[in-house]
């Protein structure tokens, strides 16, 4: 028997009591909990999804607040997943939220997605989306692509074996710098809200449907522009020669995740991911003590090590990953990381 909390959802005939019960038994992985991901997480928690797994690599900064609905000024500098989990907990309800302050990669995706029936895209970069697409097709797990830049965005559900995958439509990631980004073109909250609403609606329909309802689910590519008040629907036709769902090649899933350095979208920030040593985790408290004589304001903040050096702000996570704010130069960031923290 469903809770009176969800009475208005149950009255929606396409969902009903049976659909609500299915929602409360379901598990979803949301990759990224910033703009899109935060709106998705809030909607799913308020809708009574049984389990929501959040993974995000970033910390809250001031420019996030106009469009990332789970954060307030008091969260500045904190890991996004922890701040998001705190905000979601205040909503109440039956949802169990699991938060992971990690960079999603080919090494941890399967573990994070374990038991999840659906993956939702709240990311800010193409590489992660192509990784999710590889994983989804390889494991037969549906996912819902979403992306926003400026006042417009795209949504496409990907149902393995029942329609196009991301690489059917976009066979390869666009070359760096060839597409507008939130850094170059900006982004508006209404566009984020509209795209997240379509993703969440598709998620609730998929998770709340029985086998017959899922069989009638029609995947398509949807483009919205909230400034021009325009919407376009493009049939998502499967390419039988698609390198992913056709030939079953998974280069993004097979790629080594170790030792990477990437520039983050929309920020003058580089992320450094050191090569992993199994079972080894840095002692951030000891590192903070050793750095104190040489860098300004080295301290622990909710399990993260933060300090400044050469006018750059470092945030070091428990797995050794670091965000270096104040530069987009990969070589400089990598050099500073190796010099100060070791590779």
- Residue 37: the pLDDT is 97
In sequence order, the β-bridge partners of residue 100 are 55
Angle at which helix 35-47 crosses helix 80-89, to 10 degrees, equals 30
Q: Give the CA angle between residues 229, 231, 234 to the nearest 5°.
A: 165
- Give the distance from CA 247 to its chain's centroid: 27
- Residue 178: the pLDDT is 57
- Residue 221: the pLDDT is 95
Under 8 Å between Cβ of 287 and 341: yes
**All domains in the chain, ordered by first residue:** 4-253 (3.40.50.720), 258-340 (3.30.310.10)
Task: Tell me if residue 242 is catalytic.
Answer: no
Under 8 Å between Cβ of 134 and 211: no
Under 8 Å between Cβ of 32 and 51: no
Under 8 Å between Cβ of 142 and 157: yes
* Separation in Å, CA 72 to CA 63, 124, 265, 325: 11, 20, 21, 20
Under 8 Å between Cβ of 38 and 70: yes
Place of tokens 């199994």: 278
- Residue 343: the pLDDT is 41
CA distance 236 to 232: 12
CA distance 127 to 174: 10
- Give the distance from CA 148 to its chain's centroid: 13
Laid out side by side, the sheet with 296-301 consists of 260-263, 269-273, 322-325, 312-316, 304-309, 296-301
- Residue 16: the pLDDT is 96
Residues of the chain with confidence (pLDDT) below 50: 343
- Residue 66: the pLDDT is 94
Those residues with Cβ within 8 angstroms of residue 324's Cβ, 6 or more apart along the chain or in another chain: 269, 270, 271, 272, 312, 313, 314, 333, 336, 337
- Residue 22: the pLDDT is 97
Catalytic, out of 182, 242, 244, 245: 182
Q: What's the DSSP call for residue 328? A: -
Q: What is the pLDDT of residues 205-252, one digit of tens each?
A: 999 999 988 988 888 899 999 999 999 998 889 999 999 999 999 999
- Residue 258: the pLDDT is 59
Q: What's the DSSP call for residue 73? A: G
- Residue 176: the pLDDT is 54
Element housing 165 (H / E): none
**Is the alpha carbon torsion for 271, 277, 279, 282 positive or negative?**
negative
Q: What is the pLDDT of residues 22-58, one digit of tens each?
A: 999 999 999 999 999 999 999 999 999 999 999 998 8
* Separation in Å, CA 45 to CA 22, 97, 108, 199: 14, 8, 24, 14
**Total-model pTM:** 0.84
């Amino acid at each position: 028997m469903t809770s009176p909390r969800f009475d208005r959802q149950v009255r929606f005939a396409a969902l009903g009591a049976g659909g609500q019960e299915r929602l409360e038994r379901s598990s979803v992985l949301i990759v990224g909990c910033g703009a899109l991901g935060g709106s998705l997480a809030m909607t799913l928690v308020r809708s009574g999804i049984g389990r929501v797994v959040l993974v995000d690599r970033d910390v809250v900064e001031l420019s996030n607040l106009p469009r990332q609905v789970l954060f307030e000024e008091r969260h500045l500098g904190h890991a996004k997943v922890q701040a998001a989990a705190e905000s979601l907990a205040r909503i109440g309800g039956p949802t169990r939220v699991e938060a992971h302050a990690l960079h999603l990669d080919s090494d941890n995706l399967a573990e994070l997605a374990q038991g999840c029936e659906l993956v939702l895209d709240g990311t800010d970069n193409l590489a992660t989306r192509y990784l999710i697409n590889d994983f989804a097709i390889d494991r037969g797990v549906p996912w819902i692509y979403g992306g926003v830049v400026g006042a417009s965005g795209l949504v496409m559900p990907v149902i393995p074996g029942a329609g196009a995958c991301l690489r059917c439509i976009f066979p390869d990631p666009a070359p760096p710098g060839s597409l507008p980004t939130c850094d170059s073109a900006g982004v508006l909250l209404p566009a984020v809200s509209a795209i997240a609403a379509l993703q969440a609606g598709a998620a609730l329909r998929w998770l709340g449907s029985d086998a017959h309802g899922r069989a009638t689910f029609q995947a398509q590519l949807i483009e919205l522009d909230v400034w021009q008040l325009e919407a376009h629907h493009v049939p998502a036709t499967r390419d039988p020669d698609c390198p992913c769902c056709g030939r079953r090649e998974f280069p993004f899933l097979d790629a080594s995740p170790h030792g990477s350095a990437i520039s983050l979208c929309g920020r003058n920030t580089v992320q450094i991911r050191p090569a992993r040593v199994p079972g080894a985790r840095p002692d951030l408290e000891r590192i903070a003590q050793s750095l104190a004589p040489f860098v300004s304001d080295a301290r622990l903040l909710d399990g993260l090590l933060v300090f400044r050096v050469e006018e750059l702000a470092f945030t070091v996570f428990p797995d050794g990953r670091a965000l270096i704010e104040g530069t987009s130069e990969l070589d400089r960031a990598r050099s500073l990381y190796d010099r100060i923290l070791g590779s």
